[in-house]
Amino acid sequence: MAVQKVADASSFRTSELNTRGPVPPAAVPGFRHFLGTPAPSQRFRVFGIDPLEVPSHHAKLRGLMHRLSRRMDAAIKWPPHQTRSAEYWENPFIPSGYTYLLQFIAHDLVHSAIPLSVAGGLGRGTTNARRTPLRLETLYGSGPVGSPHIYALDAPSDDRRTKLRLGRMRWKENEPATGCPFRDIARTPAENVTGIDRSIKGVRVALTEALVADPRNDDHAVMSQLTALFALLHNGLVDIIRRREGNAGPNGQFGAAYKRFLCARGALTAIYHNIIRNDLMRRVIHPTIYASYCGPAPHFIDRLASADGPAIGDWEIPFEFSHGAFRFGHAMVRPEYQINDLSLHDLNNTLEKSSVNDPANMPLDETWMVQWSRFFEINGSTPNFSRRIGPHLSDGLGNDQIFPAFDETERVGLLYRDLLGASLAGMWSVDALIAEIGSRRPHFIAMSRLLADRAYRVDQLREWFVSAQAYGSLTDEDIETLSNDPPLPFFILFEAMQQADGLQLGLLGSIIVSEVIFGALASDPRSALGGSLADQLDLVSREFYLTNVLQDIPEISNMAQLVELTTEIAELQQAVPAFL
């Protein structure tokens, strides 16, 4: 899921954290505001009060976000599909694999120590550590030298590390004669100085440590399997490069390994960018907005998103994206998944499958090995579809073990965290954001009555709140404040439901997401040049080699093609359970 859940901070309570006084909204390293820092009059308010200016008002803020999250528990009455094979709540245009690609991308854009909702305010722990957007830092960490624990030795006779470490899957039943391929991320046990041991004595040692660059990539089974997919492709690219690079003598082995790693990383990054640009964004963004941004030189309205903005290393992500629009992926998470031909797992089981939550049952067994034709359209397959995008989340995202309560509301679940975190970030109000975009791109706003007509927008919001008022016990005062000043992540979901029947983002959500994602792509010189993937791979190769060692890589513009290439170069055509 585009779930930006950071390492569990549930042991902290708001009252225990350093939240003395408000922090200026533009003073958190790694973050900024979309279209510039809003003036106090342009910021989101609750009952007419700015949460940044009046921390004593936070109790009322938490109460309102609690009640709003309860209202969002009500199932959405979606219009029927023309596609009979899909359930009314499913989105047949976005297979569920893209939900988790969105989560992977979120991890590649944002890495904070403590969620803003749990921290209770801007400040210590909420810094974004990412400074190079969409460069696969979430997969590669600091490289073989800076993050050696995630890299494997290349060969018995070579102590260089250019491949990502993988782990053997576990067989729940008897292991077949075909053997046990490396299909899981790498995991290991650890000594615990407190004496706590979560192993099953005499049966299985607890593998408590996931050897990945970003611990969130082991949040749950599908996320760790997607991470393993990218690792398998990287390792296959290393093999392709090694076969074409020629032999290096003993004194040249270090340099050869260095070039090989950087070339493979550059190639995978180019493939990743091509998929984001031509596949993922095409599916989730409003078609008119996508057409305005997908070319090689889009005209950005957010100056800091453009190629002429800050140099890499100074890059910062807008709160209105990270804590606002990009939370839409949470609404796409299904209640259950057909993982492969062997197993159907509900969301609660899926979320609990990690080294943190279930170490004694790691590595993942055969019932958790993802068959990728179940998650992407491959050779005519009918995959698990994502949910339609709207103001409602699957029940599993209210799991009280994964997303426990952390404040006096005792509200569990991811939805409350999303709403509260957004409310504490000093973000633009929806009205002010629409007005600012309208001053820069009036034709965008004019395309949507929901955006262009404030009275209509307020009426539509009010009507929705009243339609199931008892769900959250919303008062009349609650309804008026939320209709006139809705939290941004809620409004993005409401807009998608009201404007696009939940099949893609609405205009406002599409603009914010496009500005940030295409802006990050524009900050990469290779991606900004455009052209075919073959051209980009040729440029990557010639940075390190005299010839194009990547010339055999086919044009890959979608996730189905990425999976098919990985299947071929990792020799997983006959894998058991099926990989493809």
Q: What is the pLDDT of residues 211-238, one digit of tens each?
A: 999 999 999 999 999 999 999 999 999 9
Identity of the highest mean pLDDT range in 145-149, 174-178, 503-507: 503-507
Residue the block writes with tokens 């599409």: 510
Q: Give strand pairing partners of 338.
A: 344
* Percentage of the chain lying above the pLDDT 70 cut: 87
Q: Is the pLDDT of residue 288 over 90?
A: yes
CB-based contacts of 561: which residues, under 8 Å, 6+ apart? 554, 555
Q: 1-19+34-580, what's its fold?
A: Myeloperoxidase, subunit C (1.10.640)
CB-based contacts of 235: which residues, under 8 Å, 6+ apart? 163, 164, 166, 570
Kindly give the pairing relationship between strand 187-188 and strand 184-185: unpaired
pTM: 0.92
CB-based contacts of 208: which residues, under 8 Å, 6+ apart? 189, 190, 192, 198, 355, 356, 359
Output the CA torsion sign for 249, 254, 259, 261.
Answer: positive
Closest CA to 117 of 431, 510, 486, 423: 423
Q: Is the pLDDT of residue 177 over 70?
A: no
Distances (CA, A) of 269 to 233, 234, 355, 542: 11, 10, 27, 16
- What CA–CA distance (Å, rounded) separates 16 from 313? 32
Kindly give the pairing relationship between strand 184-185 and strand 166-167: antiparallel
Rg for the chain, CA atoms, rounded: 24
∠ CA 373-218-526, nearest 5°, is 70
- Mean pLDDT (whole number) for 201-208: 80
- What's the pLDDT at 528? 61
The helix/strand/coil state of 9 is coil
Q: Is the pLDDT of residue 15 over 50?
A: no
Closest CA to 523 of 320, 319, 311, 274: 311
Q: Is the pLDDT of residue 426 over 60?
A: yes
Residue the block writes with tokens 């679940």: 413
The helix/strand/coil state of 162 is strand
Structure confidence by residue, pLDDT tens digits, 256-272: 888 999 999 999 999 99
112 vs 76, more confident: 76
What's the CA dihedral at 137, 143, 147, 152 to 10 degrees? Answer: 120
Contact (Cβ atoms closer than 8 angstroms) between residue 555 and residue 531: no
Q: Is the pLDDT of residue 278 over 70?
A: yes
510 vs 1, more confident: 510
End-to-end CA distance of the chain, in Å?
A: 21
- Give DSSP secondary structure letters for 20-78: -SPPPTT-STTEE-TTSPPPGGGB--BTTB-TTT-GGGHHHHHHHHHHHHHHTTSPP-P
CB-based contacts of 536: which residues, under 8 Å, 6+ apart? 270, 274, 526, 527, 529
- What CA–CA distance (Å, rounded) separates 533 from 539? 10
Domain ranges of the chain: 1-19+34-580
- Mean pLDDT (whole number) for 29-58: 92
